[in-house]
Amino acid sequence: MLWNSGEFNDETSFSGSLITKLRRGSQLSQAFLDTRNKLNHSNIISQSPWLDADGDGMNTTADEEHINRSEICLGICGIAGSQPPQITQILPAPEIGGSSALLWAKTSHHVDDIYKVRAILVSPDMTISEYQGQNTDFGRIEIELTYNDNADPEKARYEAEYDHFCTPGLWKVFYEAQGTDGAWSDTVSVDIVQKQIPDNAQCQQSGVNVAMLLNQTKYQAGDDFILSMQVNGQQTVTPYIAIILPDGSFVTYSYNLGFSFPNALYPYRETLSLDGLRTYPILSFPMSAGLPSGEYQACGVLLEPQVVDVLNVENWLSIDCVGFGL
The residue among 43, 45, 41 whose CA lies nearest residue 13 is 45
CATH pick for 87-202 out of 2.30.30.140, 1.20.1250.20, 2.60.40.10, 2.40.50.140 = 2.60.40.10
pLDDT at 92: 84
pLDDT given at position 94: 81
Q: Please state the φ and ψ torsions of residue 313, each to the nearest 5 degrees.
A: -60, -20
DSSP states of 176-209: EEEETTSPBPPPEEEEEEE-S---SGGGS----E
Predicted confidence band of residue 41 (pLDDT cuts 50, 70, 90): low
Task: Please state which of the ranges 131-135, 140-144, 264-268, 301-305 shows the lowest mean pLDDT.
Answer: 131-135
Amino acid identity of 168? P
Higher per-residue pLDDT: 224 or 124: 224
Residue 226: beta bridge partners?
284
Residues 94-114 pLDDT 10s:
888 888 889 999 998 888 889
Of the segments 34-38, 122-126, 194-198, 259-263, which one has the largest average pLDDT value? 259-263
Average pLDDT, the chain: 79
* pLDDT interval class at 68 (50, 70, 90): low
**Residue 148: pLDDT over 70:** yes
Percentage of the chain lying above the pLDDT 70 cut: 74
Q: State which amino acid sits at residue 307.
A: V
What share of the chain in percent tops pLDDT 90?
A: 24
**For residues 251 and 261, is the Cβ–Cβ distance under 8 A?**
yes
Asked whether the domain spanning 209-325 has the same topology as the one spanning 87-202, the reply is: yes
Q: Is the pLDDT of residue 51 over 50?
A: yes
- HSE-CB at 236 with a 13 A cutoff on CA atoms is 13
Q: At residue 260, does pLDDT exceed 80?
A: yes
Q: Where are the domains of the chain?
A: 9-70, 87-202, 209-325
Instruction: Write down the pLDDT at residue 76.
Output: 64
Specify whether domain 209-325 bears CATH 3.10.450.50. Answer: no
* Predicted local distance difference test score (pLDDT) of residue 313: 84
- Give yes or no for a contact between 84 and 107, defined as CB atoms under 8 angstroms apart: no
Whole-prediction pTM: 0.50
